Chain A
Amino acid sequence: MDRVVMYIDMDAYFASVEQASRPYLRGKPVAVVGSGKRTVIVASSYEAKRLGIKTGMTRGEAIRKLPSLVFVEGRNNKYVDTCVKIHEILLRYTPEVEICSIDEFFADLTGSLLLFPSPADIAAAVKREIGERFGITCSVGIAPNKLVAKIAGEFGKPDGLVAVEKDDVERFMEGLPVESIPGIGKKMKAALNALGIRTCGELRDFPVSVLRRRFGIWGDYLSFMARGTDPFRARGQGGLPRSIGHSMTFEKNIGDRVVIRARLLELSGMVARRLRKEKIVAKGFSLTLRYPDFTTLTKRITLPFYTPNGRIIYETVTALLDSFRLKDAVRLLGVSAFNVRRFAANPSLFGGLDREERLWKAVDDVNDAFGECSLRPATTLLCVRHHWVISPAYRPGCFFS
C-alpha cells in the first residue's frame, strides 16, 4: 500500500484564535504580542499580513506601518489547549500523528484508508470539525511523503486542501519556486539563483555533481527534494525537538551583570525544566543577546557530556557571557539547548549529581502541584516576572496528562 501523509497547518494560528474568541476583531488587522511594551509581533492575522505586517516587527515599526493595527496580548494556554484538542481530533483518524509545532501536524493515513473513504474525505472532515469547534481555518496537504505534503499544504494557504497523487509529484513540483522547499531560505535561494536555478524543475535537472561541489551533502538533498523525494528520516511520535530554548525581551535595557546573571539563571531554569519534562538531555548550549540597536549575537558551546541540569546550563551560559565584552546594555537574552537525546538514567559514580537530581525532582513536584515558579532560586527574585508569549515553533508536550 502506498504511503499517504496529511499535513495540517493552522492559518495565522494565534491571531485566528484571538479573532474567534473576540468577534469584534474578525476582519480586522490583528497582531499578537506579549504584554511588555517592547515585545515583538509573534503572529498576525491575514488582514495584517496583507498590509505588510510581519512576525518579528516591534510594536513601533508595526504601528508606523499600519496605524489601524490592533494589538492583542497572547494567551499561551489558550493556544496550547486548542493544539491539544486538534491533536485529539486527528487521533480519531490515525494513531500516527506527529505534532511538529503548536500549529502544525503530520498524520500518516496509510493504515486508516481501509476505514475511511479517502484521504480527502478525512481532510475535509478534520477541516470542518476544526472550523465548527474553534472557528478557525487550516490548510491541508496530502501526498506520499511529509516533504510534498508540507509543500502542498503551504501551496493551498489559507484554508486550502491540496492532494498530490504519487504519479503527479514530479509534475506538481516542477513549476514551484525553489524557496517552496522547506529549508531553502533567502541565502540558499540566492545561491541557487546564481546558478540559474529558479524552479524545482530546474533544480531537479541540474547536475548533482555540481550541486554537491557547491553545497556538499546538501547538494544531494536538494536534488532529491526537487524530485519530491523526502531524504530525511521521518520523526516518529516520540521524536526529539531539535532544540529547546527561551528568550526574554526586557522592559528596560539591562547593563548590570548581576541582573543579567539572575536573568540567565531564570532562563537556564526554564530550559532545564523543559528538558526534564520532555525527558531529554542536551550537550549543546547557546547564549543569545541583543543590544538596543538590534545587533544580535549568539555564542554556542558543546560540552563533552549530556545534561538536563539547570546549574550546569547556567554555569555554561555565564561562561559564554563572560567571553563577551558587552558594548552596551542588553534588551534581550536567550538560552537554548541543542544536540539533544533521550534521557537514559546512569548511576552516578560520585553521588553528587544524584543529590542535585533529587533536589530538582522535588522542586518540579512542588511546581507541578502549586504552579510554575512557586519554588525557584532566590536569586531570580531580582527579576521582575512578566507575562511572556510562546513562539509558534513551540511544540506542546502532554499538557493535560
Chain B
Amino acid sequence: MLTRVGERVATGVVFRKEGRKMELKWFLWKGRKLEIKETTYMWRERDGRELIHRFVVTDGKDLYELSYRQEGLMWFLEAVETDG
C-alpha cells in the first residue's frame, strides 16, 4: 500500500566519486532513525529549472521514496510503501 507523505526529513548521505554518486545511509522520520539497507532505484526529474533526484530505498521491510531538491538542498520523504 502506497501512502503519500511529502515531509521534509534529515538524511545521512555519503558522497562518492567526487560528488557524482550519492549513497543514502539513514533518515530521520517521526523521531525514528531508519537505516537504509538498499537503494533499489534512483532517477532524476525536472520541475521547471529545478533538478530533483529521487531514490527508492528500503529498510529491509518497507519501501520509502526520498527526493533531494538540488536548488534548496532539501530532502523530502515523498511516500511510504508497504507490501500488501
Residues on A lying within 8 angstroms of B by beta carbon are 17, 20-24, 77-78, 80-82, 134-135, 367-371, 374, 399-400
Instruction: Check if B44 sits within 8 Å of A22, measured CB to CB.
Output: no
Chain B residues positioned under 8 Å from A135 (CB to CB): 40-41
Report Cα–Cα, A370/B49, bound state, in Å. 6
Report Cα–Cα, A267/B43, bound state, in Å. 27
Instruction: Check if A78 sits within 8 Å of B46, measured CB to CB.
Output: no
Q: Can you offer 19 A-B residue contacts whose CB atoms are under 8 A?
A: A17-B41, A21-B40, A21-B41, A23-B40, A24-B63, A77-B43, A77-B45, A77-B46, A78-B41, A78-B54, A81-B43, A367-B48, A368-B49, A369-B49, A371-B48, A399-B46, A400-B44, A400-B46, A400-B51
Query: Smallest Cβ distance from A387 to chain B, in angstroms?
Result: 12
Report Cα–Cα, A33/B43, bound state, in Å. 19
Report Cα–Cα, A399/B51, bound state, in Å. 11
Interface size class of B (residues with CB under 8 A): 10 to 19
Chain B residues positioned under 8 Å from A77 (CB to CB): 43-46, 54
Q: Main secondary structure on chain B at its contact with chain A?
A: strand
Chain B residues positioned under 8 Å from A23 (CB to CB): 40, 58, 63
Which partner residue on chain A sits nearest B55 by CB separation? A21
Asked if B83 lies at the interface with its beta carbon under 8 angstroms from chain A, I say yes
Instruction: Check if B45 sits within 8 Å of A371, measured CB to CB.
Output: no
Which partner residue on chain B sits nearest A24 by CB separation? B83
Residues on B lying within 8 angstroms of A by beta carbon are 40-41, 43-49, 51, 54, 56, 58, 63, 81, 83
Instruction: Check if B48 sits within 8 Å of A370, measured CB to CB.
Output: yes
Report Cα–Cα, A80/B43, bound state, in Å. 9
Instruction: Check if B48 sits within 8 Å of A20, measured CB to CB.
Output: no
Which partner residue on chain B sits nearest A23 by CB separation? B40
Instruction: Check if A22 sits within 8 Å of B45, measured CB to CB.
Output: no
Which partner residue on chain B sits nearest A79 by CB separation? B43
Which partner residue on chain A sits nearest B50 by CB separation? A371
Chain B residues positioned under 8 Å from A82 (CB to CB): 43
Chain A residues positioned under 8 Å from B83 (CB to CB): 24
Report Cα–Cα, A22/B84, bound state, in Å. 12
Known interface pairs A78-B45, A370-B48, A400-B51; 17 further A-B residue pairs with C-beta atoms within 8 A, sorted by A's residue number: A20-B40, A20-B41, A21-B41, A22-B56, A24-B63, A77-B44, A77-B45, A80-B45, A81-B45, A367-B48, A368-B49, A369-B48, A370-B49, A371-B46, A371-B47, A399-B46, A400-B44
Which partner residue on chain B sits nearest A136 by CB separation? B41
Report Cα–Cα, A151/B63, bound state, in Å. 38
Report Cα–Cα, A399/B43, bound state, in Å. 12
Select B56's contact among A21, A134, A368, beta carbons within 8 Å. A21
Chain A residues positioned under 8 Å from B45 (CB to CB): 77-78, 80-81
Chain B residues positioned under 8 Å from A399 (CB to CB): 46
Chain A residues positioned under 8 Å from B48 (CB to CB): 367-371, 374
Interface centre among A21, A80, A81, A368 (most CB of B within 10 A): A21
Chain A residues positioned under 8 Å from B81 (CB to CB): 22
Interface centre among A78, A80, A368 (most CB of B within 10 A): A78
Report Cα–Cα, A76/B74, bound state, in Å. 23
Report Cα–Cα, A79/B51, bound state, in Å. 16
Query: Smallest Cβ distance from A273 to chain B, in angstroms?
Result: 14
The 3 A-B pairs at the shortest CB distance, nearest first, are namely: A21-B41, A77-B45, A371-B48
Instruction: Check if A78 sits within 8 Å of B63, measured CB to CB.
Output: no
Which partner residue on chain A sits nearest B52 by CB separation? A77
Given A21-B56, A22-B63, the answer on whether A81 and B44 have CB atoms closer than 8 Å is: yes
Chain A residues positioned under 8 Å from B44 (CB to CB): 77, 81, 400
Report Cα–Cα, A195/B13, bound state, in Å. 66
Chain A residues positioned under 8 Å from B43 (CB to CB): 77-78, 81-82
Query: Smallest Cβ distance from A360 to chain B, in angstroms?
Result: 17
Which partner residue on chain B sits nearest A367 by CB separation? B48
Chain B residues positioned under 8 Å from A400 (CB to CB): 44, 46, 51
